[in-house]
Amino acid sequence: MGDVIGDMAGVAAPTRRKRAAHTARAILRVALDLALPRLCAACREPVEGQGLFPKCWSKLSFITRPYCERLGVPFVYDPGPGILSMEAIADPPAYHRARAAVRFDEISRALVHALKYGGRLDLAPMMGQWLGNAGREILAEADALVPVPLHWRRRWARRFNQSAGWRPRFPPPAACRSPVARSTA
């Protein structure tokens, strides 16, 4: 009986510490939000939680079907499946397919520049999710997903390689989920 009470006392101490730590974190979070409110990455207006100011979010133009199967450029109307844009026919690219999550406009430019040049690494999960959703079909058929290496000077200036930071947020292609057998022949 004495051992059981001794064991229960040992359990109570960590739970009190956890509650105290949780309370301290909550107080610090409120103080930090008051001192340094979270700002929209595009317009720098205060926002609640993480993300974009509603006005900026409404201006963001996500690319959805219909679009050119090769370039991913959106069409104004649906010309049918498998149709290529005039740009893809006139000057075919070296790659088979490409996708973008959003149109490159004022808001998306501000987000990309904040991530690449402004050190806003907190945008990577959100933007990585957008890219993962936009390229789901391509990723499902991919053999590998490889981040493009940066020149050492650019990496030093930016302090990170944004493509390497996004890589873990994408589901791995089916071929990469199983171990690869090495051939010695």
Query: Looking at residue 148, what DSSP letter applies?
Result: P
pLDDT score at 10:
54
- Tokens, residue 118: 């402004």
C-alpha 149 chain-centroid distance? 18
Query: Where is average pLDDT lowest: 31-35, 50-54, 172-176?
Result: 172-176
pLDDT score at 115:
86
Q: What is the pLDDT of residues 118-157, one digit of tens each?
A: 888 888 888 888 988 999 998 888 887 777 778 889 888 8
Asked if 82 contacts 89 with a C-beta cutoff of 8 angstroms, the reply is no
pLDDT score at 166:
58
pLDDT score at 66:
94
For the chain, the domains span 52-175
Q: How far apart are CA 5 and CA 79, in angstroms?
A: 75
Q: Does the structure show a pLDDT above 60 at 174?
A: no
Q: How far apart are CA 106 and CA 124, in angstroms?
A: 18
Whole-number mean pLDDT of the chain?
81
pLDDT score at 102:
96
- The phi-psi region of residue 42 (left if phi > 0; otherwise alpha if psi is between -120 and 50; otherwise beta) is alpha
pLDDT classification of 92: cutoffs 50, 70, 90: very high
pLDDT score at 141:
87
- Tokens, residue 28: 């610090």
- Judge residue 10's burial from the number of C-beta atoms within 10 Å of its C-beta, 0-12 exposed, 13-18 middle, 19 or more buried: exposed
Return the SS3 of 59: helix
Q: Does the structure show a pLDDT above 50 at 183?
A: no
